[in-house]
């Protein structure tokens, strides 16, 4: 059964796109077939996989606005088992005009249901809580919220948690969420303190794996590869692999619970 994971945060600069790429690469290393979906008008995920957004003729915007099939726009990446639905600047129009479409929050979920079977679909959302992100939340089984251990990153969590509750009530009762601590610098005392506070406040909703600061992540983006394939021995590559294993274990436990 395909699992859909949305990665979203209202705050920019929290390693959202980096996490989408690296988690996708790590899951491929675990033997999965993975589809990455770039929902951000900035098309950072598309660019980070080596595809210039201006060269994209048909993007995920065509799926959301023009009823194109995801299969018609999908692309293979240079990594076997990792495919992409690219983004383009036309996603700005999607954010604007999606709400006038009938049952617009269901469009992405219905479209993904027409794709070939992947083990995991990862949705990289824009840094906002608009129509595109709400589409992703309605489609997803699990929402991962990257947050740096800093006040300006933690404070906006109240907004996305509010929207998760609303999505569960109205559109997607199966939606679960987990917080992912990213860009952790253990040399900074406030990072340690705020990380502990997050775990104390949210308990099991905070993933055990945390992603520490690693300059190799920036290098992997320039190379157009997930860190797991660019520098597999880097600290962040090992941490993202541990994250993939943790999420895979979570998915298995959820499947067991559903069949019990």
pLDDT tens string 147-204: 999 998 998 899 999 999 999 999 999 999 999 999 999 999 999 999 999 999 999 9
Q: DSSP for 89-109?
A: TTHHHHHHHGGGSTTGGGHHH
- Once rounded to an integer, what is the mean pLDDT over residues 52-67? 92
**Whole-prediction pTM value?**
0.96
Instruction: State the chain's mean pLDDT as an integer.
Output: 94
pLDDT tens string 221-234: 889 999 999 999 99
Q: How is the beta sheet containing 3-7 ordered, strand by strand?
A: 75-76, 82-85, 34-38, 120-124, 3-7, 142-147, 176-181
Could you tell me the two tokens for 164?
């998760």
- Once rounded to an integer, what is the mean pLDDT over residues 13-28? 96
pLDDT tens string 70-89: 999 999 999 999 999 999 98
Could you tell me the two tokens for 224?
């157009």
Residue 29 — pLDDT band, cuts 50, 70, 90? very high
Q: Which domains does the chain have, with CATH numbers?
A: 3-259 (3.40.50.300)
User: What is the model's pLDDT at position 116?
Assistant: 81
pLDDT at 254 over 90: no
State whether the Cα torsion 38-74-110-253 is positive or negative: negative
- Once rounded to an integer, what is the mean pLDDT over residues 90-103? 90
């Amino acid at each position: 059964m395909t699992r859909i994971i949305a990665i979203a945060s209202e705050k920019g600069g929290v390693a959202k796109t980096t996490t989408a790429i690296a988690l996708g690469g790590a899951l491929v290393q675990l033997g999965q077939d993975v589809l990455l979906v770039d929902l951000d008008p900035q098309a950072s995920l598309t660019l980070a996989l080596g595809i210039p957004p201006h060269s994209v003729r048909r993007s995920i915007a065509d799926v959301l606005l023009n009823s194109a099939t995801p299969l018609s726009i999908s692309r293979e990446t240079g990594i076997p088992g990792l495919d992409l639905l690219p983004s383009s600047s036309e996603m700005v129009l999607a954010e604007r005009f999606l709400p006038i479409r009938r049952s617009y929050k269901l469009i992405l979920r219905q479209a993904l249901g027409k794709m070939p079977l992947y083990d995991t679909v990862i949705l990289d959302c824009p840094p906002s809580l608009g129509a595109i992100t709400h589409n992703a939340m309605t489609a997803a089984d699990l929402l991962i919220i990257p947050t740096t251990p800093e006040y300006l990153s933690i404070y906006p969590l109240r907004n996305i948690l509010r929207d998760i509750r609303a999505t569960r009530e109205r559109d997607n009762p199966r939606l679960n969420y987990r917080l992912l601590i990213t860009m952790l610098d253990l040399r900074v005392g406030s990072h340690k303190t705020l990380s502990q506070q997050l775990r104390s406040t949210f308990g099991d909703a905070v993933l055990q794996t945390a992603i520490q600061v690693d300059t190799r992540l920036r290098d992997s983006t320039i190379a157009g590869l997930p860190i797991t394939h660019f520098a597999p021995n880097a600290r962040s590559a090992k941490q993202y692999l541990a994250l993939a294993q943790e999420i895979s274990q979570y998915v298995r436990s959820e499947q067991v619970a559903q069949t019990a």
